Chain A
Amino acid sequence: MPLSRPAKLGSFLRAWLCALALGAVAAPAATLVQLSLNQMAQQSTAVVRASVVSSSASFTGSTIYTHYKLKVTETWKGTAPAEVVVPGGVANGYRQSFPGAPLLQPGTEYVLFLWTSKAGITHVMGLTQGLFNLAAPAGGALQATRVPAGETMLDAAGRQVQDHGLQMGLAELKAAVAQALGAAAGSLQ
């Protein structure tokens, strides 16, 4: 195998990475579009650090939403909502299950990138993309962790990418959000 092949291959892949047409990707179906941290910060209506106080489920129209009451400790953008909803749950003797929908744990602390619809319903951005668990390893600083999404994602240009999850310190995350919003890190609440 000629040594030049990797270089030649590199040009192939660079071309691919730079100019991928959506329709030509014969990978069928995706339910998520990958959002960068910048995009989540800019497109969200609110970004908060909060812990989940309680949860309940109820029907809105024909969809069951699980409502998570939040205790907000920091608001990095917008107005902190009292709750966030996730599709699915158990209500009135019925269960709705949507693979991919996250489950928030009461008592757990998160950073949440939120989006409120015209109907006034507040969702987590990108189903799970806007959900960062906060936990401190033994004796260490708080880490914000977002697990990889199961569904393959397309980026904003329709190119297929893989989500490898994110982990960073809380302070680092806060600084990144501030930068995305064009604000000084210390100015975020």
Chain B
Amino acid sequence: MSGMRRIFAVAAGLFAAALPGAAYYHFVHYLNAGNAVEKFDLNALPGQTVTFFVSESDPTVYSANDSFNSVLSQIRQATAVWNGVASSSLRVAFGGLENGSTLQNTPAADVVFEDLPPGLLGYGGPTSKASPVTGPGGTFIPIARSAVHLNRNLTLAPGPSYLETFFMTTVHEMGHALGLQHTFTSSTMSQATTRATTMSHPIDADDIAGLTVLYPAASASQLGSITGRITAGGQGVHLASVVAIRGGAGAVSGVTNPDGTYRIDNVPPGPYFVYVHTMPPDANICGPWNDANGGSAAQQDGCSSTSGNTVAPSGPVNSLFYPGTTNFTQAQAVSVQAGQTVTGVNIATAARAAVSVYDAGVYSYFANNTITVKPAAVNMNAGTGLVVASAAGLGANGQSPGLGVSVIGGSVTILPNGIQPYQATINGVPYTYVALYLGFAPGAQTGSQHMIFNTPNYMYVLPAGMYLTVKPPPAIAAATPNGDGTATITGTNWAADTQIYFDGLRATILSLNAAAGVAIVQPPAGASGQQSTLTAYNSDGQNSQFLQSASPVVYSYPNAPSPSVVSVSPASLPAGAEAAVTITVAGMTLTPGATVAGFGTSDIVVRSVFVTGANQLVANVSVAPGAALSNPDISIFSGFQLATATAGFQITPAVNGLPAAIPVLTNATPGLTGAYAGATVTVNGSNLSTANQALLVQVGGQFASVISASATQMTLQLPATLPPGPTTLAIYHGVLNAFPVEVNIDTPPATISAVQNANGAAVDALHAALQGAPLTISLAGFAPPTASIGTGNVQVSLGGVIFTPSQVVASGSQWQVTFVPDGTAPVGQAEQLIVYLNGRSSLPVSLPMALPNGTFTVSTGQ
């Protein structure tokens, strides 16, 4: 895109709101009554899930040891990255292959490979309706379909597909497809110039914040916000980037509105320093668009700020830390609390002629300085810390006069005289770099380090400019099949949490001796004859590609029959149906947790997959009520193995009144979780019951007691003799039968066998529990005796008040959980006591809680 012209005009009259609206790094439209962003309408997505489909027109040119199976594995992993954002209610799924001619009505996203012009390797973004809609969450522009376009020739960078660069490119472009634009915090949505995320850490705090703004989940209430206003010469500064940053954590940012107000949401609690900076001249931001007074659909506009419909940014301003300094030691921290907003974080800056420094990168060296890495990975234990920085505007005329460099957090210092210039010419173009000699403070912390570059008249902050480690990058020496399907991998510089990847899929580590550099792994199921490139990833951000990308260790899968789909039952479903589809395959081994079923159309969402045999799976699918009638392709993935059925499924017209049960059983008893035999559960859906018709429900072939039912929800008591595991839920309501769905019956909950006070006496009506006095709860069926359970995995609920235990220990076949009911515990009567392990509840017991005076009265009639 052409550079952003510096037009010193602020459309302050365009925007007026009582509170700063979020003018984020999204696709933003300014309306008469505030901002609207482009995002998916969660109500239009079954299961609030956006599915990425891959065009069956796969790449045409591959590097050695690369394959379409590897490409698909990387795309699957990339969707899992965005699906893992817990504070976002949007789910992201991999939908397998699709035929480009399949009619689809439900919003989704496509990954397509095409002949791109030389110099362009890929691009991505949303397709949105040109007019806003208003829903319960406010006014927004719904995304109808998104696309990620990649080059057919994977011999060109960022390929081959097994490289981290390909994976990170895919993650970045998917971010655009979900509604995110570029940021300047070195997160995944930052431009590659400054991006510091890796396959070990593929998204950072700013990416999480940006997605959560669009699709907030309830857990987002645990995050905080910062608001304020940026001015220059008393006037609001438009489209400046405002960043909250602190040592040891990712930076989170927002963008100012035309009146200079800003809002940074979804900031993890803690102290932050806030700074403002002008976006670089090559920021590549689309919009924001002026859609007030209906100025949208009729105007052709694009991503450039020079577009007539785009609201131009203000001119460059000085970068400053709050409250108004370039000296970090004088910056004032703001404290962000969960669920609260810090207001009035205003910065008055001044206009300047141009952005003096931008697009910085910091590099480190390996293999006798023949290999560089960015961001710099610096091993504190290697003695000398030497990195090289480059940036537009950095080091002009030999060295930027008066350049100072500092690192936030205190772990890293620049040694005296440790800033040295270096100039080089590449292809006739001069480049100036800055060498930085580093020292490490006692107790220096590993991880990302934020850097500040100060010239006499400009400040530039580079979040996550480098990261500190305590060991060299990992390497893989060899991979040897063991004959039983496992493989022995050897290497160096591993850690206890080192991960081994086969192309884009992580192997299951059966055992790992980091000191010896030996691991026994279960490789992902491979395609016939596949040559899979191995990569070791350490949690410190380093991976074996640092040193071995030119000659990685390759694992050879044996030749095998081609996978195929043998049967699909049912092979068709009407629009609006929920059903379990049983699929049998041949020539591949289905692995629980690594098997994906795709139905080739966004009008079908796969809710869950149960592997019921080595060659059979059951997929719970949901067909959108407004689904297009079509014959999509089916694709089944297990590891790298892929079986397809062209036009293997059919969507038929909707059946009026068809019952449809969503295959999720939710415990209906307050405070309890789990759908186990004998539990009372709710099931949601549509047309579940009709007036004057008997409703019969079978679970696992046994009749369940229907406690209540409406068209959209029913409450059942599960049969007491149901075995745990997947089973069928079938509904007959006398007019139409629902398609059966597959549900999971949980194992029986733990039972509380005893509660004892500190003296070892059992707590009862005569020996009621006291506030402040420790209690030890004994549980049967809690967990295997050898399980590793920390206090963070367990919660105790007493009368609805949650406590964290002080101790969790195994005791023979039982477990003991010790906690102290503090002053917040309810008193005076018997209270319900429940213990949760990773959210799964025990059965409750009634616990007498004495009044502060020690008395407890048993109520009659209880």
Contact = CB atoms under 8 A, between A and B. Distances in A.
Given A13-B422, A150-B1, A31 B435 contact: no
A130 B370 contact: no
Contacts of B386: 9, 12
B118 interface: yes
A87 B303 CA distance: 10
A125 B359 CA distance: 23
A151 B192 CA distance: 6
A41 B129 CA distance: 38
Interface string B146-170: 0101000000111000011101111
A99 B176 CA distance: 8
A94 B119 contact: no
Nearest to A114: B117
A93 B420 contact: no
A115 interface: yes
Interface stretch (B44-52, B226-234, B282-290, B455-463): B282-290
A4 B377 CA distance: 24
A103 B1 contact: yes
A136 interface: no
A81 interface: no
A34 B156 CA distance: 12
Interface string A3-24: 0011001111111110111111
Contacts of B422: 6, 9-10, 13
Contact of A23 (B2, B165, B297): B165
Contacts of A97: 27, 38, 125-126, 128, 286-287, 302-303
B359 A162 contact: yes
Interface in A131-169: 131, 133, 147-152, 154-155, 158, 160-165
A39 interface: yes
Interface residues of A, number: 88
B75 to A, nearest CB: 14
A34 B193 CA distance: 13
Contact of A22 (B125, B145, B163, B390): B163
B559 interface: no
Nearest to B195: A28
A64 to B, nearest CB: 7
Nearest to B366: A24
Interface string B108-130: 00101001111111111111111
A150 to B, nearest CB: 3
A27 B361 contact: yes
Interface in B550-595: 550, 552
Contacts of B366: 24
Interface stretch (A53-61, A72-80, A177-185): A53-61
Contacts of A125: 117-120
Interface in A90-120: 90, 93-103, 105, 115, 117-119
A93 B550 contact: no
Contacts of B125: 88, 96-99
Contact of A15 (B171, B198, B370): B370
A168 B155 CA distance: 33
B191 A118 contact: no
A175 B193 CA distance: 32
B158 A30 contact: yes
A124 interface: yes
A15 B359 CA distance: 23
Nearest to B376: A26
A51 interface: no
A66 B548 CA distance: 43
A99 B303 contact: yes
Given A9-B420, A128-B1, A30 B374 contact: no
B370 A19 contact: yes
B858 interface: no
B3 interface: yes
A158 B159 CA distance: 10
Given A43-B118, A95-B130, A100-B284, A15 B369 contact: yes
B361 to A, nearest CB: 7
Contacts of A118: 115
A9 B182 contact: no
B303 A98 contact: yes
A53 B545 CA distance: 49
A22 to B, nearest CB: 6
A133 B579 CA distance: 58
B719 interface: no
B490 interface: no
A189 interface: no
A101 B302 contact: yes
Contacts of B429: 164
Interface in B810-832: none
A133 B1 CA distance: 12
If over half of A's interface residues share one DSSP class (helix, strand or loop), that class is named, otherwise mixed; here it is loop
B374 A66 contact: no
Contacts of A12: 365, 369, 386, 388
Interface in B343-371: 359, 361, 363, 365-371
A11 B15 CA distance: 55
Interface stretch (B411-419, B625-633, B682-690, B799-807): B411-419
Nearest to A101: B303
Given A22-B163, A23-B165, A90 B297 contact: yes
A159 to B, nearest CB: 9
Nearest to A115: B117
Contacts of A16: 363, 365, 369-372
A124 B365 CA distance: 36
Nearest to B179: A97
Most buried by A among B281, B297, B369, B431: B369
Given A33-B157, A88-B302, A150-B1, A23 B427 contact: no
Interface string B410-441: 00000111101110101101010101010000
Given A21-B549, A130-B119, A95 B370 contact: no
Given A5-B420, A100-B303, A127 B120 contact: yes
Contacts of A89: 300-302
B452 interface: no
Nearest to B552: A23
A71 to B, nearest CB: 18
A187 interface: no
B526 interface: no
Nearest to B545: A23
A123 interface: yes
B307 interface: yes
Given A5-B420, A94-B130, A100-B1, A33 B119 contact: yes
B473 to A, nearest CB: 9
A137 to B, nearest CB: 16
B181 interface: yes
Contact of B373 (A25, A147, A150): A25
A119 B158 contact: no
B284 A150 contact: yes
A56 B299 CA distance: 10
Contact of B120 (A11, A14, A31, A160): A31
B525 to A, nearest CB: 25
A126 B117 contact: yes
Contact of A9 (B192, B299, B435): B435
Contact of B119 (A23, A55, A93, A126): A126
Given A100-B1, A130-B119, 14 more contacts: A12-B369, A24-B371, A26-B542, A29-B192, A30-B165, A31-B158, A66-B300, A66-B302, A89-B302, A94-B144, A95-B129, A99-B285, A99-B303, A126-B118
9 closest A-B pairs (Cβ-Cβ)? A23-B549, A126-B119, A28-B168, A150-B284, A29-B169, A152-B192, A103-B304, A1-B417, A103-B302
30 contacts: A1-B420, A6-B420, A12-B386, A20-B371, A23-B548, A24-B550, A26-B164, A27-B165, A28-B171, A28-B199, A30-B158, A30-B165, A31-B158, A32-B120, A33-B157, A35-B119, A43-B118, A62-B127, A66-B300, A90-B296, A94-B128, A95-B128, A97-B126, A99-B1, A100-B123, A103-B2, A125-B120, A126-B119, A148-B3, A158-B157
